[in-house]
Structure 1
């Protein structure tokens, strides 16, 4: 029988996808729930007229009761900015979050935040939202100046749809006219019975998690990273900066199997190995072992062998934090809260954005859930504009994913790739990874997706246009291209 860890990782591998929420290849369940419009029969979306009641009862703990955002991540931060841009935040908007910090750019947690102290690591307030998209940095003082009420370290525990209230863990009763759910995801964890909660075992979802990991890295000698996706690749790259013995363990055949082709993955794996990272692919984990001091001491595999480790990082994806909002309406196929193209749930006055939103992916005609900072930003802006204005355009998202690793001082080479579109059909790989390489996905003669490593700003700007317009392209011409530049010019000319 497979071990609990193996079953968990296999389950996550089969259901997660890029960053880890969008399934670019529809599953059987997804295919069964394809939609024709953003208001598909059965969802029951209705128009919403704000039913805010200016209640003065002292029973309510929030002073700003017209709009309430639940969650304190990227989506919440960008939603707040959009309220401010429309002059609808001051005295009207309340944000309630489980974190002690104002919203920040979470991608930093597995990138620059983990750099060694002598390599200029990222620290707050440097990466508060919305600095990641070139906007004004939203520090705690920014929220005060804009008249936004902030309730920290007190997550929402329940909702009363009829009374339009939510109750927090501490018992605060909050009134809302319109509610935006932006609770994000929680990390998928190993069960406690196989060592998932041992000291020295880490998961990364928030700043506290990252701080705890840094404390371990400062004393660590041998690090094992479980998972070959984004988290695993980014954490392993950071561990190299600490000059630690680092091993990545995962059950798949190669890195980032949901996106990378075997050939592309081999290029990245070779670079990691050149930087001292070891790989154990196709591995089944039985349990995590503890030493005499109670801390993790090793990762025991099903073949009976054990990897020594004083620090273990589990990066096997996440799951949407929706337990308090099941009554709002969940999607059984992709998870998350079902919304339409304006991010309205089936309950008038309640919206969901970011990681938790199961929304119509218009250009591919299917329901999707995307865990990525780009979608968090865009969904927040689209939702709030729709709520506050006559804006009725359906959200038309183009899937976009990226990663940046080895960016610390002294690194032999910085890695930065971007992907746009859908990874379906046949692939054409061009380039030698020195430093550029590009992979093109072609389905039924049309260009569906493209990944580029180490491109110029102009080349990266071309990718979304190619992916959105999906031009007919001559595969044989691409295969004959002598360089990435030539291949991109072939693709450009196909437009």
Structure 2
């Protein structure tokens, strides 16, 4: 459940500690990209529904959980922080939903509270009790529907009026859906974005025989791996000519496709979908393709991307090119005291000098931490993010092969593929003689640790030498030696 918006222009198209009191006035660090300095006034009023009004986070995903931890680490959470979420659960590590959560029921699937934040990065498990112990006010199942930036108030779906001194928007994304007129809401048609979605899908999988997955990206690949574990007849349909086109090279995509085929998955590539059809029981029964042919399905999962959940915050300022809420390198919006982090933030991608919106758990974590540190201190250094993506599939018990790949950097330039995929493979992107990006499948811990160093430092690589590498290990040693030589120079 991870992606980079097309703002990154990936080759295939692919945001002064102060005393706790009834009045808060805090200078904001200056920004080098034109977001003005300001003062905000925080006023307590008895008519507001939230007791903790100094800091408010809207959103209940990864970014909210990691922001909460950073507030706690700085001693600024107790009695000061309120989190407003549309979900019924405390923040959790969302990637689990298309990985361990979908394991067959006899393969020890993960369930809450095992994947509450911040266990994904080795931190303490932040259960609902944790938030209570830390004095953080949680408002569940009550999404924000409007904002008044002049009065610094939020209104929720239930009619609650909330007050904020500083506001962090961490609303993430929502799954892109098929229109209702072509069957997007038929029972048995699933989208995955939260625990309720995953629970609904599992209920269908327990009774399913023929599954159709629409989409050849992260969701499609991860869900297909899970349905293999359920031993279900699985077909993956997508309009592109290869899997994960925004990142994989055609040859690498073919390797993964062959692996899935070996596990019984069928692919229909380069086809369009006319509509989804219901059977006599009202549930989905088939997918009708553009050429009129029919693919039977009693369960359908749609994974065709996501869109930032920017409503009702349009007034804060949107980026019309990449979507989401425009922020600077400290995650400040154009309105004083309002910030945006995670999937919803359109931010300056410093190392590549462009604006990006990144849909990935790593960015959600890091952006939240960076934002809160800037908010609570005199920190002024700008967010300097290195794009990172990964996937883990076929990890359930009894799987003949567990798959785990990682990518760092930018996939621009000439590609060099080393290895035969059994047991591992690596792809290097070289542009103007410099290493720009690297992907590794089935690497060791030490090899994975090398990848971000290579991608961030972008050493010059001898392409002839790299092309002659007889193994992934040799290719990585060539890249490592190039890095060390430049660091010594």
Q: TM-score normalised to the size of structure 1?
A: 0.93
Of 142, 157, 168, which aligns to 1:154? Answer: 142
Long gaps (5+) in structure 2: 15-29, 484-489
Cα separation, 1, equivalents of 2:8 and 2:339: 24
User: Equivalents in 2 of 1:224, 1:483: separation in Å?
Assistant: 37
Q: Deviations over 1:165-203 (max 9, x none)?
A: 000011100000000000000000000000000000000
Residue 21 of structure 2 corresponds to none
Equivalent residues of 2:147, 2:155 under 8 A apart: yes
- Aligned partner of 1:349 in structure 2 is 337
What's the offset of the Cα at 1:23?
A: 3.9
Deviation at 1:45, TM superposition (A): 1.4
The 5 A counterparts of 1:410-489 are 410-489=398-477
After superposition, the CA RMSD in angstroms is 1.5
- Detail structure 1 runs of 4+ shifted over 6 Å in the superposition: none
Mapped contact 2:8–2:357 kept (Cα < 8 A): no
Alpha-carbon separation, structure 1, partners of 2:400 and 2:208 = 23
Match of 2:321 in 1: 333
Residue aligning to 1:368: 356
Is the CA contact (8 Å cut-off) linking 1:65 and 1:93 kept in structure 2?
A: yes
1:180 match: 168
Aligned-partner SS, 1:280: strand
* 1:46 equivalent in structure 2: 36
TM-superposed deviation, 1:25: 2.1
- Whether 1:115 and 2:103 are equivalent positions in the alignment is yes
Measured against aligned partners, the alpha-carbon deviations of 1:358-411 in whole angstroms (never above 9, x if no partner) come to 000000000000000000000000000000011111000000000000000000
Distance 1:192 1:39 in 2: 46
Task: Measure the CA separation in 2 of the matches of 1:317 and 1:362.
Answer: 25
CA change 1:352–1:275 in 2 (3 A) is: same
Provide the rounded CA distance (Å) in 1 between the counterparts of 2:31 and 2:338: 16
Q: What do the CA deviations read for 1:231-255 (whole angstroms, capped 9, x no partner)? A: 0000000000000000100000100
Aligned residue among 144, 155, 161 for 1:167: 155
Deviation at 1:48, TM superposition (A): 3.9
Deviation at 1:38, TM superposition (A): 6.8
Q: Is the 8 A contact 1:250 1:280 kept in 2?
A: yes
Cα contact 1:22–1:371 (8 A) shared by 2: no
Is the 8 Å Cα contact of residues 330 and 336 (structure 1) preserved in structure 2?
yes
The alignment covers a number of residue pairs equal to 467
Distance 1:389 1:38, change over 3 A: closer
CA–CA distance in 2 between the matches of 1:48 and 1:375? 27
CA distance in 2, matches of 1:249, 1:351: 38
Match of 2:3 in 1: 19
Aligned residue in 2 for 1:9: none
Does 1:220 find its partner at 2:208?
yes
Q: Tell me how far 1:20 sits from its aligned partner.
A: 4.4
Aligned: 1:323 with 2:319: no
CA distance in 2, matches of 1:70, 1:159: 11
Residue 481 (structure 2) aligns with: 493
Residue of structure 1 in register with 2:27 after alignment:
none
Picking from 33, 40, 56, the partner of 2:45 is: 56
Distance 2:157 2:296 in 1: 39
Structure 1 252/26 Cα, relative in aligned 2: closer, same or farther at 3 Å?
closer
Matched residues in 1 for 2:157 and 2:384: separation?
A: 36
Paired position in structure 2 for 1:210:
198
In 1: Cα distance, 2:115 partner to 2:328 partner: 31
In the other structure, the counterpart of 1:294 is 282
Please say if 1:189 is aligned against 2:173: no
* 2-structure distance, mates of 1:210, 1:21: 24
**CA contact 2:10–2:412 (8 Å) conserved in 1:** no
Shift of residue 18 of structure 1? 6.3
- What secondary structure sits across from 2:313 in the alignment? helix
Deviations 1:203-223 (A, max 9, x none): 000000000000000000000
Does the 8 A contact of 2:85 with 2:142 survive in 1? yes
Between the aligned partners of 2:229 and 2:251, the Cα distance in structure 1 is 26
User: Residues 250 and 283 of structure 1 are in contact (CA less than 8 Å); yes or no, is this contact kept in structure 2?
Assistant: yes
**Structure 2 length as normaliser, TM-score?**
0.94
1:98 and 2:80 aligned: no
Q: 2:267 aligns with which of 274, 279, 283?
A: 279
Corresponding position of 2:57? 69
